[in-house]
Amino acid sequence: MSSKRVTVYDIAEKLGVSHATVSLALRNHPSISEKRRVQVKKKAEEMGYVPDPHLAALAAYRRSNAPAEVRSAIAWINHWEQPERLRKHREFDLYWQGAAQAAKRFGYCLEEIRWSPEYSARRFEQILLTRGIRGVLIPPHDRIPDWGDFDWSKFSIVRFGLSVPSPDSHLVTSDQLRAMIMAVHKMAEYGYTRIGLVVPANVDARLGGGFVGGFRSAGESFKLPVVKPLLTEENVYTERPDQARRLLQAWLKKYKPDAILTFMLQVPELLRQLKYRIPEDIAVAGTGVDVPVDAGLDQHSEAIGRVAVETLVSQINLNERGEPSDPYRVLVESRWRDGKSLPRLKR
């Protein structure tokens, strides 16, 4: 058996085509027909071809040291009913910032493209194609978007999180379950003995159940000092604040938490209305940077944006389009933020 490495030139000679055709076919380039790509890949497998990792590393090194010229845009699709609200969320704006920095590093620009109500799916699709866009990022949405008959097979796609269930693309998000376990560990380490959770049950379910699942795991698996969570629906906080305040008051009276971990932006103000001082009467930590307290979880949103673009550019370079046959999820670790709203207790 010959020990000579099979090259693209060997495959090209067997098929009677150019080595450039073979190289492009192995990278799924759209300029090569599907029939030819299948033929080339089959012959490459028969001949035992494997890419040379040293050559691949050299090519990557050359690309990384070459001046990055803007090749085209990566689209950040905003299908919110009120699109200006999307980046008013600090967490989502940090997604954007991380994504924009990474896009620039790879020679792309990140462009927010708003899907106006008057655009049909076909019209919006044509807008992207006319602008030469090959990759799209789908940020979180406050409602499930109606994509209609939009043809995702023409684009590389990455979603942020689980709030948008389709298209079934690769996605990048925070590891909320591990983050919650880490947060409860930290709060217990700081001396709190009755730790409560206040989150909207419907939102947690839509995001995959990581907040409640992690909190319960902290109590059941790690035996940390937690009390029963308050799982009120989101619209109670946004539409019926008096009811939200009554439910919170009853829960506080029954379970007497000394520290709260919360998803809801309204909770610190509701506590003040109920005459609780933060942190003198009860400590409060947020599950993300949008909650108006200075202690809690930082879901590392800027890194999530960066990793999303790295994942997307990999797809673009490999000419992978549409919904993948094996979608995967990239989980980014969260960090803890110390703050005055949840101080260490003196022992």
294 and 235 housed in the same domain = yes
What is the per-residue pLDDT for 20? 86
Range of the domain at 236: 176-299
Position 337 pLDDT exceeds 90: yes
138 and 198 housed in the same domain = no
What is the per-residue pLDDT for 95? 98
Other CB atoms within a 10 A radius of the CB of residue 203 amount to: 15
Within a domain: residue 346?
no
Average pLDDT over residues 41-67: 72
169 and 252 housed in the same domain = no
**Cα–Cα distance, 206 to 337 (Å, whole number):** 25
> What are residue 236's phi and psi, to 5 degrees?
-65, -40
180 and 295 housed in the same domain = yes
Confidence of residue 82 (pLDDT cuts 50, 70, 90): very high
Residue by residue, what is the 3-state secondary structure of the chain? CCCCCCCHHHHHHHHCCCHHHHHHHHCCCCCCCHHHHHHHHHHHHHCCCCCCHHHHHHHHHHHHHCCCCCCEEEEEEECCCCHHHHHHCHHHHHHHHHHHHHHHHCCEEEEEEECCCCCCHHHHHHHHHHCCCCEEEECCCCCCCCCCCCCHHHCEEEEECCCCCCCCCEEEEECHHHHHHHHHHHHHHCCCCCEEEEEEHHHHHHCCCHHHHHHHHHHHCCCCCECCCEEECHHHHHHCHHHHHHHHHHHHHHHCCCEEEECCCCHHHHHHHCCCCCCCCCEEEECCCCCCCCCEEECCHHHHHHHHHHHHHHHHHCCCCCCCCCCCEEEECCEEECCCCCCCCCC
How many structural domains is the chain composed of? 3
Confidence of residue 62 (pLDDT cuts 50, 70, 90): low
What is the per-residue pLDDT for 67? 54
Instruction: Kindly state the percentage of the chain with pLDDT values over 90.
Output: 81
**More confident site: 293 or 52:** 293
185 and 292 housed in the same domain = yes
What is the per-residue pLDDT for 259? 98
190 and 240 housed in the same domain = yes
Report which of 126, 140, 154, 29 is spatially closest to residue 78, judged by C-alpha positions. 140
Within a domain: residue 342?
no
Position 131 pLDDT exceeds 60: yes
Span of 7-11, 153-157, 198-202, 228-232 with lowest mean pLDDT: 7-11
Span of 2-6, 47-51, 191-195 with lowest mean pLDDT: 2-6
180 and 318 housed in the same domain = no
Confidence of residue 263 (pLDDT cuts 50, 70, 90): very high
- Final residue in a domain of this structure, among 32, 65, 98: 65
Give the tens place of pLDDT for each residue, 93-118: 999 999 999 999 999 999 999 999 89
Give the tens place of pLDDT for each residue, 146-170: 999 999 999 999 999 999 999 999 9
Within a domain: residue 149?
yes
Report which of 153, 209, 186, 221 is spatially closest to residue 345, judged by C-alpha positions. 186
Give the tens place of pLDDT for each residue, 14-35: 999 988 898 888 888 888 888 9
41 and 142 housed in the same domain = no
Position 60 pLDDT exceeds 90: no
**Average model confidence (pLDDT) for the chain?**
93
Whether the Cβ atoms of residue 334 and residue 296 lie closer than 8 Å to each other: no
Within a domain: residue 345?
no
CATH number of domain containing 257: 3.40.50.2300
Position 248 pLDDT exceeds 80: yes
What is the per-residue pLDDT for 1? 42
Within a domain: residue 21?
yes
What is the per-residue pLDDT for 199? 97
239 and 289 housed in the same domain = yes
Instruction: Kindly state the percentage of the chain with pLDDT values over 70.
Output: 93
280 and 320 housed in the same domain = no
What is the per-residue pLDDT for 57? 57
CATH number of domain containing 52: 1.10.260.40
187 and 256 housed in the same domain = yes
Within a domain: residue 240?
yes
Average pLDDT over residues 3-11: 83
97 and 120 housed in the same domain = yes
What is the per-residue pLDDT for 347? 67
Contacts of 221 (CB under 8 A, 6+ apart): none
Within a domain: residue 20?
yes
- Final residue in a domain of this structure, among 279, 299, 319: 299
Within a domain: residue 347?
no
